[in-house]
Amino acid sequence: MDSKSIKLLLLFFTAIVLVVIAFPMNEWLAKTMLRHQLIEIPLIFFCGIFTGRYIWKLSAKDSYIAVSMIIFIMFSLIFWMLPKSVDLAALSPSFNKIMNIHIFIVGWLTTSVLKDTIFELKIFLLGMIAAKLMAVGVTLRVFNLLLCSAFSIEQQEETGFYMILLAIVLFIYTTYVLIQGISRTAAQ
């Protein structure tokens, strides 16, 4: 199989995953906050990363492009964590599909930033995502207040707990990347 055929096959596989998430599984994923925030969004995000890594590569070698992408990525992730956005995505299938497209693009751009930019911007992006996950997780876990009307307080607390765990794992990975980058720089 040549590389073009492999890319087409990977694109077909990614499209199938996206269609399954956006259509037959959409209602099931939107029923609980945990499935919506920690299954649907990461699956779409990683489909974007997969696409950016193996199918359609975008270059972010210039720092100004990478910084622009990081700003877009962070504002996008913050927007989709706002309670009103979460509610609309959970209650409106069409708004949820807009979210899916947007999160896919964010994943695709994230690949470019992590692959092509300077070491410091990679650490900055990973650290910011981990910090965002931690802040949202703590907010959902600690406040005994219904933040998203589409879900219950119990679902918010459960989602918050798992977001905190995910943030800790991402902080550990960010630390690993930082140590690896420092050791590579010191070896040169």
What's the rounded Cα separation, in Å, for the pair 90 and 175?
A: 34
Q: What is the pLDDT of residues 94-104, one digit of tens each?
A: 999 999 999 99
- Give yes or no for residue 58 having a pLDDT over 80: no
Q: What is the pLDDT of residues 74-110, one digit of tens each?
A: 999 999 989 899 999 999 989 999 999 999 999 999 9
Residue whose C-alpha is closest to residue 102's, from 81, 123, 121, 122: 81
Residue 132 has a pLDDT of 94
Residue 170 has a pLDDT of 95
Sketch the domain layout of the chain as residue ranges. Answer: 3-187
Q: What is the pLDDT of residues 136-164, one digit of tens each?
A: 999 999 988 888 888 999 999 999 999 99
Which ranges of the chain would DSSP assign to H, the alpha helix? 3-22, 26-30, 33-35, 41-50, 63-79, 83-91, 93-116, 119-142, 153-187
Dihedrals phi, psi of 81, to nearest 5 degrees? -105, -5
Residue 54 has a pLDDT of 81
* Rounded alpha-carbon distances, angstroms, from residue 182 to 51, 174, 186: 29, 12, 6
Q: What is the pLDDT of residues 29-46, one digit of tens each?
A: 989 999 999 999 999 999
Q: DSSP class of residue 73?
A: H
